[in-house]
């Protein structure tokens, strides 16, 4: 009996070891499975041992139910394992890649590169923008030198309407390679420049002065003429604009053009002076006496007029027409010829019905015998006729 009991106890122990191995195997399978994350494992083990009588009962369920009963004094009920497998569906959302960030802008240098110039001769290399702006304003504001008629004048760019775009040039200079030149743009306003040139012209322009014919001590006197002058504005304006745009401050020379007067001493050639009281006619070439003639002048009741006149008409072999006067109211016109009272030449002056003419009455020369005209011998009046022109001055003095 004792041997039978020992055998039963061995079988019970073997059953327990078998159940434990099955549980361990199931656990290993669950851990190694790909869907182990989504699985739920539930295990229940109930064990009851009653001694004596030595009866052994073992029940094992794996994925089902197995019941085994062994007569004896020990009873064991073991292991119920339930395995539930669930399926998990995963949804994947594809995200757009983030936009690339723009590259950071390079920082502006705090100073201008070495050797950089503005406007050709304004050095700003190694300076800050504020320092460069001060130097640029100072250099551009330098006055221009203008020489006019042996005088030296100074004109600032502001007076001439020039504006330099310095901020624009400095911005470009900050990004310019060392040793480069940055042009300086200059704007010139027309109104201030024109105003300055007008003031300059008013100061230096001079009007012409014509010569005048006077009578001094019974002789003609011609005053001296004076040349005029005018500022030659075109070349000066172009030179000013060029100097302002190129920042050149070399002296500029303004030209004054000479203007000839309309009447000068050379404008006067033949001049006739008649001295009524002496019955003499003198011909001058300007202020130089050429020749003197004896004449007849008007009677006391028909005096030759005094004053300044000029020749208005010249006739050869003229007709004589009776003037509107009492002494000629019954007279008739006389054609040219030996009996014509005007002789062969007539030079009418700007006094009505008065002129210089020849006469067939040579005995009247040297006396006041005419009706107001100036009589001359026929050969002499013909010579004088060729020496004078319309417009020749005629002075008749007492």
**pLDDT above 90: percentage of residues in the chain:** 63
* Nearest by Cα to 397 from 228, 214, 237: 214
pLDDT band at residue 106 using 50, 70 and 90 as cut-offs:
low
pLDDT at 11: 59
Mean pLDDT estimate for the chain? 81
Identify the residue with better confidence: 62 or 156: 156
- Of the ranges 6-10, 98-102, 307-311, the best mean pLDDT one: 307-311
**Residues 377, 380, 381, 382, CA torsion sign:** positive
Query: Measured between alpha carbons, how far is 395 from 273 in angstroms, rounded to an integer?
Result: 5
Q: Which of 19, 225, 247, 373 is catalytic?
A: 373
Instruction: Show the 3-state SS of the chain.
Output: CHHHHHHHHHHHHHHHHHHHHHHHHHHHHHHHCCCHHHEEEEEECCCCCCCCCCCEEEEEEECCCEEEEECCCCCCCCCEEEEEECCCCCCCCCCCCCCCCCCCCCCCCCCCCCCCEECCCEECCCCCHHHHHHHHHHHHCCCEEEEECCEEEEECCCCCCEEECHHHHHHHHCCCCCCCEECCCEEECHHHHHHHHHHHHHHHCECCECCCEEEECCEEEECCCECEEEECHHHHHHHHHHHHHHCCCCCEECCEEEECCCCCHHHCCEEEEEECCCCEEEEEECCEEEEEEECEEECCCCCCCCEEEEEEEEEECCCECCCCCHHHCCCCCECCCCCCCCCCEEEEECCCCCEEEEECCHHHCCCEEECCCEEEEHHHHHHHHHHCCCCCEEEEEC
pLDDT of 86 higher than 60 = no
Structure tokens at 127: 């300076």
pLDDT band at residue 322 using 50, 70 and 90 as cut-offs:
confident
Model pLDDT for residues 198-212, shown as the tens digit of each residue: 999 999 999 999 999
Global pTM value: 0.57
Decide the pairing of beta strands 297-298 and 80-85.
Answer: unpaired
Supply angle C-alpha 310, 269, 304, rounded to 5. Answer: 30
pLDDT at 326: 74
Q: Which of 19, 225, 357, 371 is catalytic?
A: 357
Structure tokens at 196: 């300055």
Query: Measured between alpha carbons, how far is 6 from 179 in angstroms, rounded to an integer?
Result: 113
Q: Is 19 a catalytic residue?
A: no
- Does the bond joining 395 to the residue before it have cis omega, within 30 degrees of 0? no
Indicate the burial class of 31 (C-beta count within 10 angstroms; 0-12, 13-18, 19 or more): exposed
Q: Is 373 a catalytic residue?
A: yes
Model pLDDT for residues 240-255, shown as the tens digit of each residue: 999 999 999 999 999 9
pLDDT at 61: 34
pLDDT of 349 higher than 90 = yes
Least confident of 35-49, 225-239, 260-274, 324-338: 35-49
Model pLDDT for residues 124-162, shown as the tens digit of each residue: 999 999 999 999 999 999 999 999 988 999 999 999 999
Give the dihedral of Cα atoms 331, 332, 336, 339; nearest 10 deg: -40
């Amino acid at each position: 009996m004792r041997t039978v009991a020992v055998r039963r106890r061995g079988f019970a122990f073997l059953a327990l070891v078998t159940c434990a191995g099955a549980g361990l195997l199931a656990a290993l399978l669950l851990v190694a499975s790909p869907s182990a994350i989504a699985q739920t494992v539930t295990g229940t083990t109930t064990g009851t041992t009653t001694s004596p009588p030595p009866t052994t009962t073992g029940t094992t369920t794996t994925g089902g139910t197995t019941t085994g009963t062994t007569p004896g004094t020990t009873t064991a009920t073991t292991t119920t394992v339930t395995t539930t497998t669930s399926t998990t569906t995963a949804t994947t959302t594809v995200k757009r890649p983030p936009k690339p960030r723009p590259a950071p802008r390079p920082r502006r240098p705090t100073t201008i590169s070495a050797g950089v110039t503005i406007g050709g001769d304004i050095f700003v290399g190694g300076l800050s923008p504020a320092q460069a702006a001060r130097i640029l304003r100072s250099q551009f504001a330098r006055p221009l030198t203008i020489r006019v008629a042996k005088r030296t004048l100074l004109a600032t760019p502001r007076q001439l309407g020039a504006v330099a775009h310095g901020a624009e040039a400095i911005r470009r200079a900050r990004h310019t390679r060392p040793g480069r030149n940055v042009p300086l743009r200059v704007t010139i306003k027309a109104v201030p420049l024109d105003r300055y040139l007008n003031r300059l012209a008013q100061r230096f322009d001079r009007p012409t002065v014509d010569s005048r014919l006077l009578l001094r001590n019974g002789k003609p006197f011609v005053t001296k003429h004076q040349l005029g002058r005018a500022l030659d504005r075109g070349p000066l304006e172009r030179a000013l604009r060029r100097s302002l745009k190129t920042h050149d401050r070399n002296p500029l020379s303004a030209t004054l053009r000479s203007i000839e007067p309309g009447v000068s001493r050379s404008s006067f050639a033949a001049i006739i002076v008649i001295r009524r009281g002496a019955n003499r006619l003198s011909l001058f070439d300007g202020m130089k006496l050429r020749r003197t003639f004896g004449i007849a002048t008007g009677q006391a009741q028909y005096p030759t007029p005094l004053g300044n006149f000029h020749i208005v008409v010249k006739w050869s072999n003229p007709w004589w027409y009776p003037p509107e006067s009492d002494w000629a109211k019954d007279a008739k016109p006389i054609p040219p010829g030996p009996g014509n009272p005007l002789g062969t030449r007539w030079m009418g002056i700007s006094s009505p019905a008065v002129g210089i003419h020849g006469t067939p009455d040579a005995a009247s020369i040297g006396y006041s015998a005419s009706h107001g005209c100036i009589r001359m011998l026929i050969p002499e009046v013909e010579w004088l006729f060729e020496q004078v022109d319309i417009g020749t001055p005629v002075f008749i003095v007492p």
